[in-house]
Amino acid sequence: QQQVKQSPQSLIVQKGGISIINCAYENTAFDYFPWYQQFPGKGPALLIAIRPDVSEKKEGRFTISFNKSAKQFSLHIMDSQPGDSATYFCAASKSGSEKLVFGKGTKLTVNP
């Protein structure tokens, strides 16, 4: 059973465009929703995270939008740059659990 479903599997965007990656979850006990960024040959790194008591969180060009009723959250990358080309993972965890559940990842390519 896949607890966090991520789409699309791959995404190609032109420089300056908006990249949008979507995730959906089933377990309403989840209360932290982080996004991780992974460059080729490197380990994933925490990019941004949100709790379900807010609907949106921005950090620079990166924004998480959260829809609690739909059990969905998404990552928006504004003004996408070639340096943003990486694999992005959404994830979920719940208070009291030290484990993360990851989506399957989205490979983003930003063309110059």
Residue 10: CB minimum distance to another protein, A: 11
Q: Please, are residues 55 and 63 in contact by the beta-carbon 8 Å criterion?
A: no
Site string for another protein, 83-112 (x = CB under 8 A): ------x-x-x-x-xxxx-xxxx-------
CB neighbours of residue 13 within 10 Å: 18
Within 14-73, which residues bind another protein (CB under 8 A)? 32-34, 41-46, 49
| Range list of β-strands (E), 32-85 | 33-38, 45-50, 56-59, 62-67, 72-77
Residue 106: CB minimum distance to another protein, A: 10
Residue 88 is encoded by which pair of tokens? 């992005």
Which residues of the shown chain bind another protein in the complex (CB under 8 A)? 6, 9, 32-34, 41-46, 49, 89, 91, 93, 95, 97-100, 102-105
